[in-house]
A = this chain, B = another copy of it.
Amino acid sequence: MSTAKNNKPTESELEILGILWEKGAATVRDVHDELSKSKDAGYTTTLKLMQIMHEKGYLNRDASSKTHVYTAAISQENTQQQLLNKMIDTVFNGSASQLVMQALGHHTSSKEELDKIRQYLNDIEDQQKR
């Protein structure tokens, strides 16, 4: 996985990355089928996109068999963090907690999830005390 490079994936690229993060490894056909559920694009469009992503270093490709197999070359965590940082910066006036509350406010979360977050807050605070 490693380095998230310097670039940021486009909207379409993120959709593909999302699928690959979930599936782990997949062919163009796999990705395209999954994509088709929510979108409406030709097969070669998906193919081209994934080729470009490979050139950019976003995807690894195993070309040993006729049908190539792709995996994400940039980690989900890194990408998430980069997008979050930019978003906090440009849209949330630099305040992470503002983002957090906005995210919580409009999403029904289970008690378990809320507890998990509370636990997380405690951990952070403990860590800061030391």
Contact = CB atoms under 8 A, between A and B. Distances in A.
A83 B41 CA distance: 23
How many A residues touch the partner, as a band? 35 or more
Chain copies in the assembled complex? 2
A117 B92 contact: no
Interface of A: 11, 14-15, 18, 22, 76-77, 79-81, 83-85, 87-88, 90-93, 95-97, 99-109, 111, 113-114, 116-118, 120-121, 124-125, 128
Given A81-B102, A84-B103, 12 more contacts: A15-B90, A18-B91, A79-B91, A80-B91, A95-B113, A96-B103, A96-B109, A99-B103, A100-B100, A104-B124, A114-B125, A118-B121
29 contacts: A15-B90, A18-B91, A18-B93, A22-B93, A77-B102, A80-B99, A81-B102, A83-B91, A84-B87, A84-B103, A84-B106, A87-B87, A88-B107, A95-B113, A97-B109, A97-B114, A97-B117, A100-B100, A100-B104, A101-B117, A101-B120, A103-B103, A104-B117, A104-B121, A105-B120, A108-B128, A114-B121, A114-B125, A117-B121
